[in-house]
Structure 1
């Protein structure tokens, strides 16, 4: 399959395919004139790269996950570590969402007069909003 076919089928631009090849994430199997040609497994490999990108892995981490061209070498520990990192991010975002929803509905005459809003502000200023800790502090 030439590069234009891969780009069309995968939705990944040809420039990105060339970049991925330069980084060692994918390999062409040859050339048809000046066009790169890729093997049958390229679409699945690009799907794995996309999944890794969406999950927040770096290209270097994805390269390690992908392993050889034939079979991915997915490190379950790395997946668990990323899942834990995502959990912390989710907790932080939930705490922020809850604080902002409270501020939007707060009956205090001014947001600066709302104790929960002030606590949220102070936590943010201190860089202390971290997952469950922040959620507990905001609810106080």
Structure 2
């Protein structure tokens, strides 16, 4: 398949495919004129990349999940660790959702007089302080495309 067919079938711009190839996530098999050619297996690789991105893995982390031939070699403990991390995020977001719903219905004269809303503000500020204390370690984690 040429790059335009892969792009169309995967729903990705050709620039993303070229970037993924530059990062070593996918490999072209040759060229037809100026167009890159890819084996059909590239669609499975792109689906795995999309799954990894949806789970919050960086492109570098995803790249480490493929061997030199482009075959998936996914460490199961890495998946367990990411699932655990997602559980923490889900609990945090669920608590935030519940607090916001409460604040929307709260009968206090103003949101600042609602104890639960004030708790949400405190938690949000503490989280921001924690992010700042960790520095920019998480910045750019998701990379390009």
TM above 0.5, one fold?
yes
Question: Whose radius of gyration is greater, 1 or 2?
Answer: 1
* Secondary structure of 1:127's aligned partner: helix
Q: Which runs of 5 or more structure 1 residues have no equivalent in the other structure?
A: 131-140
After the TM superposition, which of the residue ranges 64-73 and 49-58 deviates more from structure 2?
64-73
Considering only aligned residues, what root-mean-square deviation do their CA atoms show, in Å? 1.7
Structure 1 position 67, deviation (Å): 2.1
> Number of residue pairs matched?
129
Structure 2 alignment gaps of length 5 or more: 131-145
Which has the higher mean CA deviation after the structures are superposed, 86-95 or 68-77?
Answer: 68-77
Pairing 1:3–2:25 present: no
Q: 2-side partners of 1:88 and 1:66: how far apart?
A: 27
**Residue 106 of structure 1 corresponds to which residue in structure 2?**
106
1:22-61 equivalences under 5 Å are 22-61=22-61
Compute the displacement of 1:71 (Å): 2.4
Cα distance, 1:70 vs structure 2: 5.0
How far has the Cα of 1:94 moved from its partner?
Answer: 0.7
CA distance in 2, matches of 1:105, 1:75: 45
Contact 2:2/2:36 (<8 A) preserved: yes
User: Which residue in 1 is equivalent to 2:97?
Assistant: 97
